Chains A and B, each alone.
Chain A
Amino acid sequence: MPAALDALGDLVRRAGDGDAVAGVPARFVGTPATTEEASAVLRAAAADDLAVVVRGAGTKQDWGAPPRRLDLVLDTRRLAGVVEHAAGDLIVVVRAGTPIAELQGKLAPAGQQLALDAALPGATVGGTVAVSTSGPRRMLYGTARDLLIGVTVVRPDGVVARAGGKVVKNVAGYDLGKLITGSYGTLGLITECVFRLHPLPAADAVVTRRVADPAEAGRLVAAVLAAQVVPSAIEVDAPPGGGIEVAVLVEGVPAGVRDRVALLCRLLGGEAAQQRPDWWGTYPWRAGETGLKVTAALSRVPGLLAAARDAGERHGAPPTVRGSAGSGVLYAGLPGDAAPEAVAGIVDHLRGAAGQAGGHAVVLTAPAAVRERVDMWGPVEGLALMRRIKEQFDADGRFARGRFVGGI
């Protein structure tokens, strides 16, 4: 072990087989419990020119491209716990390694929540912010970027920096929280997050309706958007060969939810469900399969659903499509044994359709054979500026290098 790491004692151990990232083996694992310890580990890593990948619960370690080089996995699971929950101010300060579910458990007794859905069980706060995953309720509450009001990061050179603060309204300085959110660990390590919270609704309900085709689903979604429903989520699920299920979530006071459920039943010609459908808030793929995120302007979502169906038929591998029709974000899953050529064809098709619809198609995860065949990220606007950001934060290219857009 390099001397600088060795001097850190228990904070660093040798890596095992389970520490590989997307098939790339690691040499060491750092396990700091505080921001200061994390800074010490990363300073040591910088001194020895070690390549670093940050890991929380590891639920998305197979997302993005494999790292081009890997020495040290920085594991955040000891860097956990709620630092401060100021219920009266509706904010929480929480360490990055805290699982989202555990955080929600701590907030619930105060009647509060972090209004961010975690699709992958066990996912940590840090991982959710770093990859910017979101779920159905993004339609009403926004995503991690909208809820994160303060952040502490350790830069690749080990320097600790904070941005934002503990108040929701704050325009002092650059909003580094937004830049860090969704940066896939390429700019540094997130150690602490401050979130704005929302009250837990007193009541909620889901109304569902199954329809035959994308056009009909589109009409229903448009009708809900035009009415006074204020949905928390409008989700669709389109399994291969089946119809499309549209599900709308409303939250609020009991009387208000009752009224809006009645309105939704009329609009959708559907019925109120006792609980959310079992596919709700989950990705339409399993570990080892191909998963895509496909976005579009709101009115073009039905077109994307149709494009996915066409692409599946043309390439003989029908995808399962699911996601937020009320936000313009869909996910598509393809079986792990689908031929890479077919998957590549579908990715191209969806990328074309998404581009026409003002959005993008990104391959979030895929089997190795598919990764070799496809461009995971597709076209990226502003890439030159992004490279300059990376160069400023991580001039040596040691953090998650190769995992992100344009090979960043």
Chain B
Amino acid sequence: MTDIDALAARLRTDLAADQVVSDRQELRTYECDGLAHYKVIPALVVFPRSAEDCARTVRACVAAGVPFVARGSGTGLSGGALPHAEGVLIVTSQMRRIVQVAPEDERAVVEPGVINLQVTRAASPSGYYYAPDPSSQQICSIGGNVAENSGGAHCLKYGFTTNHVTGAQIVAPDGELVRLGGRAPDAPGYDLLGAFVGSEGTLGIATEVTVRLVRLPETVRTLLAAFPGVDEAGAATSAIIGAGVVPAAVEMMDALAIEAAEAAVHCGYPEGAGAVLIVELDGPAAEVAAQFAQVETFCADNGAFEIRIAADDAERALFWKGRKSAFAAVGRISPDYIVQDGVIPRTALPEVLHRIGEISRGQGVRVANVFHAGDGNLHPLVLFDDGVEGEAGRAEEVSAAILALCIEYGGSITGEHGVGMDKAKYMPRMFTDDDLDTMQLVRCAFDPAGLANPGKIFPTPRLCGEVPGRHRGTHPAQQAGLAEVF
């Protein structure tokens, strides 16, 4: 019996037999997440149905010294839920209970496998919703959102997952269940919840999440503006933000991205547009009316040749359909593509887009650009054909060059998709060794054995035995039982 067989046997006893999968064919289903070109077949897959199941699984892994990786819906785009070949994949898809919706507290309590959009569906009859809205919100899980600190189109105004999670129960990497934060704000002590959200499964697994609910806005108004090119659309964005307007969302697509969206979902964007902007404002009616008029003016003044205003929810949905389907749509115009995720200071947008254009032409690789223009979060889609010798390599180079640009302009290598497996190698370009070493102090506090999602985020794991500062012996007073260290 191998170690894994023994672990499987223990888990079948500790949980239930049907919660543990070890069949090679079935395991293959979980070999990748949304970043499908990395594939690793896990040694085991476990489906906990409760926090206690999760804790038991982690404790069994710790006892066996086996790494574990948590997975929600598997929609992540950085390989954050890529399995470990000798490890256990803990899939939260059977933890889908909405524990409570409490509009009077502006909170909902959900299990990690609950789908993002389900939270809004559960809260909206009471006039509330869950604000973070990643494009995958119809299928991605709250647990995954917490791990990745997911954003979305509307985070320009409303912030990210980290701003909307007020509490969580987690299984720490030693198997202990710990509550962090809660329904009330500002729990005393270190903001461990703040460190946990966005830690990509390396600090443990969320087993219950308390989220903030936001009052549904009185008014939502959306316009679609067509520009000759990205420079004009970028200038309009700058004018809007510069005037002190905080739209709920400002999204931009360039000509190639529009072409793809048209081919895929026939969204009917204005013909001949070199770029479109989708601008959405929400809030109290009079506020929105005043600012919407300003936005229209800024678009027109900066060269918009057509401005459409959504007359109703159906038309708004159509505007968004092109944008939200853009990643998948690119499949219509290219056999293969890389979805990149980088951030630049918003004001550098025109310059960076020109440089991306130069890189694209220089390598002969097409790049479609989709981005959250309001906050400088770029999603270049690098197109290639894996069947053509050398194309994949060139696409990789273009993709890497775009990230290098993000760093050069003082931005980030990821705005919302996470570092995961895919970008760990870029971390040393954005951070110094000391920066990464310091982040890993947190990792060492939570997971000294390095069993929680190893190999993600950090290119070089820190040995947790090396405590900074001078080495201390036990203080004599402590030894004598007269004092404790803390």
Contact = CB atoms under 8 A, between A and B. Distances in A.
A359 B184 contact: yes
Q: How large is the interface on B (under 10, 10 to 19, 20 to 34, 35 or more residues)?
A: 35 or more
B316 interface: no
Nearest to A251: B287
Contacts of A362: 188
B419 A171 contact: yes
A327 interface: yes
A256 B185 contact: no
B290 A256 contact: yes
B286 A253 contact: yes
Given A169-B375, A171-B419, A381 B346 contact: no
Contacts of B468: 155-157, 159, 392-393, 395
Contacts of B183: 297, 358-359
B62 to A, nearest CB: 15
Contacts of A395: 467-470, 472
A239 B207 CA distance: 42
A183 B188 CA distance: 10
Nearest to B448: A388
A327 B185 contact: yes
A162 interface: yes
A171 B187 contact: no
Contacts of B155: 169
Interface residues of A, number: 101
A174 B439 contact: yes
Given A88-B242, A328-B184, A167 B190 contact: no
Nearest to A388: B445
Contacts of A258: 286
A232 to B, nearest CB: 12
Given A166-B345, A385-B172, A397-B485, A161 B434 contact: yes
Given A170-B343, A386-B190, A393 B441 contact: yes
A253 B291 contact: yes
B309 interface: no
Contacts of A404: 189
A142 B486 contact: no
Interface in B420-445: 423, 427, 430-432, 434-439, 441-445
Contacts of B238: 88
B36 interface: no
A407 interface: yes
B416 A171 contact: yes
Given A179-B190, A228-B215, A327-B185, A171 B284 contact: no
A149 B177 CA distance: 29
A167 B410 contact: yes
A280 interface: no
A159 to B, nearest CB: 5
Interface stretch (B67-75, B81-89, B99-107): B99-107
Contact of A169 (B215, B289, B377, B437): B377
Nearest to A134: B186
B301 to A, nearest CB: 17
A155 B438 contact: yes
Interface stretch (A3-11, A194-202, A204-212): A194-202
Contacts of B184: 295-297, 328, 354, 357-360
A227 to B, nearest CB: 9
Interface in B233-268: 238, 241-242, 244-246
B188 A89 contact: no
A174 B410 contact: no
A282 interface: no
A73 interface: no
A270 interface: no
Contacts of B369: none
B11 interface: no
B287 A256 contact: yes
Contacts of B415: 167, 169-171
Given A89-B347, A169-B377, A397-B485, A385 B412 contact: no
Interface of B: 102, 104-107, 127, 148-149, 151, 155, 159-160, 162-163, 172, 176, 178-180, 182-195, 197-199, 215, 217-218, 238, 241-242, 244-246, 283-287, 289-291, 343-347, 372, 375-377, 410-419, 423, 427, 430-432, 434-439, 441-446, 457, 467-470, 472, 484-486
Q: Which 3 A-B pairs have the closest CB atoms?
A: A178-B194, A199-B244, A359-B184
Given A161-B438, A179-B194, 17 more contacts: A46-B470, A88-B242, A88-B345, A156-B468, A160-B434, A166-B411, A169-B155, A169-B343, A173-B439, A179-B195, A228-B285, A299-B104, A299-B105, A358-B184, A380-B187, A381-B182, A386-B189
21 contacts: A88-B346, A132-B186, A134-B186, A143-B186, A163-B439, A168-B376, A171-B151, A174-B195, A178-B197, A199-B244, A202-B244, A255-B290, A297-B105, A357-B184, A381-B180, A381-B187, A382-B189, A386-B189, A392-B442, A392-B445, A405-B190
